[in-house]
Amino acid sequence: MEKLNEKGILRYPRLDTVLMVEEFIREHSGEYRRKQLWEKLPKGMMYQTFQVILAYLYESNKISVDSEGKIGWIWDPEGVAKYMKKKHLFWRNKK
């Protein structure tokens, strides 16, 4: 996926649009490739806007793309919080 700042972005997505795409990907993780996902979204949007959202989600480690090009949800805040509590795993918890 391309970096966000390397694109000539005409329009940035609104927060509700980003959240809608996030929710759809969470519900359909690993089912669709990029264009299929865009076509199945409950609300239409420009493809460029959709690509900006995907780039953001990818760069923030919320999604991944497998070898077939299918997009999957990987963000797990509960799992991260669980590991953050383990003092032997993180330097900031060590005194």
Query: Residue 92: what pLDDT?
Result: 57
CA 34 distance to own-chain centroid: 12
pLDDT in tens, 30-80: 999 999 999 999 999 999 999 999 999 999 999 999 999 999 999 988 887
Can you give the pTM of this predicted structure?
A: 0.76
Instruction: Name the 3-class secondary structure at 12.
Output: coil
76, 77, 80, 82 alpha-carbon torsion, rounded to 10°: -110
Query: Residue 3: what pLDDT?
Result: 55
Whether pLDDT at 5 is above 70: no
Query: Residue 82: what pLDDT?
Result: 82
Count each helix (H run) and each strand (E run) in the chain, helices first: 4, 2
Go through the domains of the chain in sequence order and give each one's CATH number: 4-93 (1.10.10.10)
